[in-house]
Structures are given as structure tokens and as C-alpha cells.
Amino acid sequence: MSTKIGLFYGTQTGKTADVAEMIQKELGESVVDLHDIAGAQKEDLEGYEYLIIGSPTWNIGELQSDWEGFFPELDEIDFSGKKVAYFGVGDQMGYPDNFLDAMGILAEKIAERGATRIGDWPTSGYDFNDSKALENGKFIGLGIDEDNQSEMTEARIKTWVAKIKKDFKV
């Protein structure tokens, strides 16, 4: 098992890939392996003790297409003993009723398979109605809105990465 962090993301327009690269850079490029889920196998996820999972929410509260295609394979992976952090990319103004839903859908499935979640994120500074990524008044991972708050992305990533570094022992 690798001591590196495996960062797995799906992307439709490239925004989530850009955020994944920013997270990798902040954590340290030698520490994080980037994987586009479109080309990943279940064995790739199994090879890491520490994972970061990223996805945009697509359409109205749906998984991005590559994650949708990979989703059934998550049932075949034992996430016991793995620490997993999540980030989601969404549009809180255009889709206020399902902001970051894909992040919540993925986190729920992976938790069922035994993962320990890290990296909760406050909801202050966001303006939305509902999200499947909410738990106990916080997001279950980092929320990014490149459409409406791109000027906040870098600072949010820096703060979140500082938080998860401790849990990932980086």
C-alpha cells in the first residue's frame, strides 16, 4: 500500500481537474498521485491508504458521467482502514437546491464500504438551499464554486489542505 495520497476526480468542463491540480500542488506534487476516474480501475483506489475524491455535480444533483460509470465498482472496494477526504465543485446560484450533491452521493457510498471521512468544511460564505453533502451543519468536504466565487478558491484550498494534512500525516 502506497504512503502517497491518491486523488481521484471526474471532470466534465475541466474545472474539477484544475481544482485537483491546485490541491495536489498545495499538498506537494511528490505526495499526491492524480487520477482521472475516467481511466481508473478499482485496483487503483485499493492501492492507497489515503484518498481524496473530487467530483462536480452535474445536471440537477447528479454524478458527473465518469463517476456515474465507475459508481457500481465502488461496491467492490473495501475502504476499511482508509481515510478519505472529499471536494466538490458546483454552482450554488444556478443549482441552489442540490449544490455539491455529487460529493454527498460519493461519500455516502464510500462510507458504506468502511471509509473514515476527514476534511469537513463550514457552510459559511455560501448561499444555497440544500445539498446531499451536508451533515451536522457542515459540508462533508471542501466546497468549490468556480462559477460564482472563483476568487475564493485558492484561499479555501489552502485552508482545507492545512486541515487534512494532519489527518493524512503529511
- The helix-helix angle for 15-27 and 153-167 (nearest 10°) equals 50
Q: How confident is the model at residue 169 (pLDDT cuts 50, 70, 90)?
A: confident
The pLDDT assigned to 26 comes to 97
Give me the amino acid identity at 9: Y
Indicate the burial class of 131 (C-beta count within 10 angstroms; 0-12, 13-18, 19 or more).
buried
149: Cβ contacts below 8 Å, ≥ 6 apart: 92, 125, 126
pTM: 0.96
pLDDT at residue 170 tops 90: no
pLDDT of residue 64: 95
Q: Is the pLDDT of residue 139 over 90?
A: yes
User: Is the pLDDT confidence value at 3 over 90?
Assistant: no
Which run of H or E residues covers position 159? helix 153-167
Work out the mean pLDDT of the chain and round it to a whole number: 96
Cα–Cα dist 142/87, whole Å: 4
Query: Nearest to residue 100, comparing CAs of 64, 137, 154, 47?
Result: 64
pLDDT digits (tens, 9 = 90+) for 108-126: 999 999 999 999 999 999 9
| Average confidence (pLDDT) over 94-100 | 97
Per-residue pLDDT of 23-33, as tens digits, reads 999 999 999 99
The pLDDT score that the predictor gives to residue 2 is: 52
Q: What's the rounded mean pLDDT across residues 75-102?
A: 97
- By CB atoms closer than 10 A (0-12, 13-18, 19+), residue 124 is exposed
